[in-house]
Structure 1
């Protein structure tokens, strides 16, 4: 039974953090001990006298319990850029073993560890070693929930991402389509990807306000059964 997995995306800004937080709340509601984990986060936000990172702040804002800060990520960089570049600007090299050891530690402490990627699968982490998130996911030996857009272009991006995951023997639990607005084009995109891949999917509506996040209710038995038993 799988109890730890990745939330990966077909691109940047597809909604990985929202989906990660949704799964966190889903398992918290079932009484599970769960932690969202963002190995590398970039782009510090400064508001008045407060400094924070958007992704881990989002986890904390919607969690049903206080999350242990040091368990939420391994590397944080100020520049809102690709991890390898943001790290380079601060004279730091992102080390694979640091992240893998952190995941191992979290797996011993929590029922569920939900690891969130950055950008797409081939986003580089280390400029010196051609080291990207896909490589890290494979080394972690954890399955993937893939987050995709619903708009024009998502068929190509999603199928390419699924293909590369399969080529690397990484199990795929399913696809989450985010920001659905109910158009026929979007519905056809989702249906076409499902027919080609035969993977279960969840569809997240487009939110008018982030406060609406708590109102999302998705109970797809097939999707969650596959996640539990992949």
Structure 2
């Protein structure tokens, strides 16, 4: 199995939820799997401690012990686009640091899951137009695209697929996240599957975060594609 990215059509589509679910799935299959968040923003307080939601989720739901020092490249307190959150702290994201960290992880773990920040074109630099999709392209790793199932998702999903394909970035498949089985959602999914012709998995809308422990990607074309 290859290392891969989990990226989203937008912010708040459930990338971290999907990353944690996929992490558990691959660990259950026997892969020594490591989640990696190159850039995270938005400091939160959990149990009286300042931390970050994404990497906390990894630790909370991993089936294997994780090395905290290896899970993240850059963290910024303000919940904003990475380039702006870094600017507010007078800092700059160095993609070479990320690429070096990722290379080291790839040599240590069976599978590294890299979680993106925001959408594909979210800026990472304050001094240029360098964005997440540029970083993804440099890593030469395939991606899994996470999208919602509700109103507006068709346009965002197809635009994201087109952007990735134009760069020659391999798309392993799509996760349709948060499905409530409405007629509109079913039609949305059917339409996107027909247009993209990509492997996929459908995750239902859950009532609470910990319900992800009961989800998996078994019997999905996406998991089969990842194994190839």
TMscore range, shorter length: over 0.9
Q: Output aligned runs, 1:39-58, within 5 Å.
A: 39-47=38-46, 49-58=48-57
Gap change, CA 1:221 and 1:206, over 3 Å in 2: closer
Structure 1 position 140, deviation (Å): 0.3
- Deviation, 1:221, is 4.6
Give 2:100's aligned residue: 101
Q: Report the Cα offset of residue 65 of structure 1.
A: 2.0
When structure 1 is superposed on structure 2, of 47-56 and 117-126 the one drifting more is 47-56
Point out the more displaced range, 175-184 or 64-73: 64-73
- TM-score w.r.t. length of structure 2: 0.97
From the superposition, tell whether residues 6 and 47 of structure 1 become closer, same or farther in structure 2 (CA, over 3 Å): closer
CA-to-aligned-CA distance 1:70-98 (integer Å, 9 cap, x gap)? 11010010111110000001111101111
Counterpart of 1:174 in structure 2 is 173
Residue 115 of structure 2 corresponds to residue 116 of structure 1? yes
- Helix, strand or coil for the counterpart of 2:36? strand
Instruction: Find the counterpart in structure 2 of residue 156 from structure 1.
Output: 155
Structure 1, unaligned stretches of length 5 or more?
A: none
What SS does the aligned partner of 2:74 have? Answer: strand
**1:47 & 1:127 partners in 2: Cα distance?**
30
Q: Does 1:29 align with 2:28?
A: yes
Distance apart, 1:102 and its partner CA:
0.7
Once superposed, what is the RMSD of the aligned Cα atoms? 1.1
> Is the CA contact 2:200–2:220 (under 8 Å) kept in the aligned structure 1?
no
- Give the Å deviation of 1:32: 1.2
| Cα pair 2:179 2:205 within 8 Å, conserved | yes
Asked whether the equivalents of residues 38 and 115 of structure 2 are also in contact (C-alpha less than 8 Å), the reply is yes
Q: Which moved more, 1:22-31 or 1:34-43?
A: 22-31
Render the CA deviation track for 1:32-89: whole Å, top value 9, x for unaligned.
1110000001111124631110000011110112210111010010111110000001
CA deviation vs aligned residue, 1:198-219 (integer Å, no higher than 9, x gap): 1111011001011211111331
2:89 match: 90
CA positional deviation for 1:220? 2.8
Distance 1:206 1:221, change over 3 A: closer
Which consecutive aligned stretches of 4+ in structure 1 deviate over 3 angstroms post-superposition? none
What is the DSSP-based 3-state SS (H/G/I as helix, E as strand, rest coil) of the residue aligned with 2:146? strand
Work out the CA distance in 1 between the residues paired with 2:157 and 2:219. Answer: 20
3-state SS of paired residue (2:203): strand
C-alpha separation in 1, matches of 2:214 and 2:83: 36
Instruction: Show the counterpart of 2:6.
Output: 7
2:86/2:93 contact within 8 Å kept: yes
**Is 1:134 aligned with 2:133?**
yes
Q: Residue 38 in 1 paired to residue 37 in 2?
A: yes
Q: Work out the CA distance in 1 between the residues paired with 2:163 and 2:40.
A: 24
Aligned match of 2:191: 192
